[in-house]
Amino acid sequence: MEFSPPRLEFSGREPLLFPGLGKVLREPMRYWPPAIVERAALEARAGSTRIALIAEPATVTRILLNRGDQFPRARLHDRILGAAYGENLIRGDRLDWRRQRKEIAQPLTTAYSLEMAPRMRRACMRIMDEWAAAGPDAPIDLLRDARRFALDSLWRCFFASESEAAGGPDPVVEAAALTIDAHRTGTLVEHLADLRPLARRALDRGYAGRGPADLGDARDEAADFNTMLLFLHAGHDNVTATLGWALWLLAHHPEIQQQVREEARAAGSDAGPGAAPLANALILETLRLYPPIMHLIRDVTVDLEVAGATIGAGFTAVLSMYAMHRNRLWWPAPDSFRPERFLGKAGEQARRTMLLPFGAGPRGCIGASFALVELVLAVRLIVARFALAPVPGRALDCRVDWVLRPEGEAPLLARPLA
């Protein structure tokens, strides 16, 4: 019997009359109907506001590219962002956000990320050493350790000196990761509070070897601080979720584990995504099934054609990555874990046209290249050293609170290979 990964079960009924878009985005399973994974678009209302959920890849991409400024980021999006992070340097109402994003993103290239592979490796090795010391039958607290790795790796790559990056974890980094994990189902605001000491430390010491961090207008210290919070949280939290899902899915597919293991041995475990096609494909398939950012919001100022039908201008578009990635119109067996979807020329075409876990366009995720290098490296290191197996009766499940996250206690066994 084929393993069936968990999925969201939607229970909304049509016609779609919502109490408010914010509530719908926070609790999508309660409000969206099952048809969201069977159609290109669904229209709804929240009071006087017209809403359309869009799940057609070409239309989602067109909106995100936003040529001609026809699809600005929705005001609700910035209100949500501001409520969590405060005034920061990449909110839509900052006139120089394009320049500031470029400055922040400057080091987040694939080349830079590959240079940082030894630092990422060190962050992963210390977690693996703990797993080995725990013994082959000790359940692994996967989500806790994925977070510890992701935050440690981010810190080593951007804020640690060479000697610090080669040593043990920074105690402030470790404390932040463990504190967040202690209330992992807490709110974003609570998790950001846990990161405040680390954000202050990061601003004081700056990028490794570059002096104090300068994320924009030095006169706006509050915005600088809030932007650092955003960088630290977004830079590790989505990696935490994706790595947790990926390792758990691999635990249910020993044959894919073995293939990734053989690939790592042939090419070297530090190989990047381009030299690790299977490891890269399984990360992409994990992101297809479980995109951490489920939906983005844009205001639509022109008539929009979706799958042959026209939606009149003046509505808010909810661009649903989850509905697009699981849609029966675009994907065969959309709820199954099949990394081979992203292998070869057909896989490259699918990745470029139908997969958008990092968004797209000028407001796409600035850390996409870094995250992919980090995730591929971690998976290859782990399966080269351990055989992963699920703990009977301990599954991961989906939790949604604005974003999609895995939830479950110690669901994995990591048995050292001979």
Across the range 35-59, mean pLDDT stands at 95
Structure confidence at residue 260 as a pLDDT band (50, 70, 90): very high
According to DSSP, the residues that pair with 194 across neighbouring strands are none
Whether pLDDT at 223 is above 80: no
Residue 330 tokens read as 């675009």
At residue 280, the pLDDT reads 95
Integer Cα distance of 19 and 90 in angstroms: 29
Lowest mean pLDDT, pick from 80-84, 219-223, 250-254 = 80-84
For 210-219, b/e burial (b = at least 16 CB within 10 A) is: eeebebbeee
Residue 200 reports pLDDT greater than 50: yes
**Percent of the chain scoring above 90 in pLDDT:** 69
Q: What is the pLDDT of residues 12-28, one digit of tens each?
A: 999 999 999 989 998 99
> Do 85-291+357-416 and 1-65+294-334 have the same topology in CATH?
no
Extract the tokens encoding 298. Answer: 């844009």
Q: What is the pLDDT of residue 108?
A: 60
Burial of 389 (0-12, 13-18, 19+ CB in 10 A): middle
Look-up of token digits 């994974």: 37
**Domain map (residue ranges) of the chain:** 1-65+294-334, 85-291+357-416
Overall average pLDDT of the 378-402 stretch: 94
Q: What is the pLDDT of residue 401?
A: 82
Per-chain mean pLDDT for the chain: 88
Strand partners, 207: none
**Do 404 and 290 form a contact (C-beta atoms < 8 A)?**
yes
Judged by average pLDDT, the poorest of 118-127, 139-148, 211-220 is 211-220
Positive or negative, the Cα torsion across 166, 167, 168, 174?
Answer: negative
| Tens digits of residue pLDDT in 74-98 | 887 777 665 565 655 555 444 455 5
- Please compute the mean of the pLDDT values over residues 222-251 and round it to a whole number: 91
Mean local confidence (pLDDT), 240-250: 97
Name the residue type at position 358. F
Give CATH for domain 1-65+294-334.
Answer: 3.30.43.20
Q: Is domain 85-291+357-416 classified as CATH 1.10.630.10? A: yes
Report d(CA 313, CA 71) in Å as an integer: 10
Q: Does residue 402 surpass a pLDDT of 90?
A: no
Q: What pLDDT, on the 0 to 100 scale, is given for residue 186? A: 87
Q: How confident is the model at residue 131 (pLDDT cuts 50, 70, 90)?
A: very high
What DSSP state is assigned to residue 68? G
Cα three-residue angle 98-103-105, rounded to 5 degrees: 90
pLDDT band at residue 117 under the 50/70/90 scheme: very high
315: phi then psi, degrees, rounded to nearest 5: -130, 170
**Closest C-alpha to 184, from 409, 347, 15, 33:** 409
Residue 237: in which H helix or E strand, if any?
helix 221-251
Spatial separation of the C-alpha atoms in residues 2 and 91, rounded to whole Å: 44
Mean pLDDT of 36-40: 96
pLDDT at 365 exceeding the cut of 90: no
Mean pLDDT of 317-325: 96
Asked whether 74 and 92 are in contact (CB, 8 A), the reply is: no
C-alpha 49/C-alpha 57 separation (Å) is: 24
Cα(35)–Cα(13) distance, integer angstroms: 9
pLDDT at 267: 79
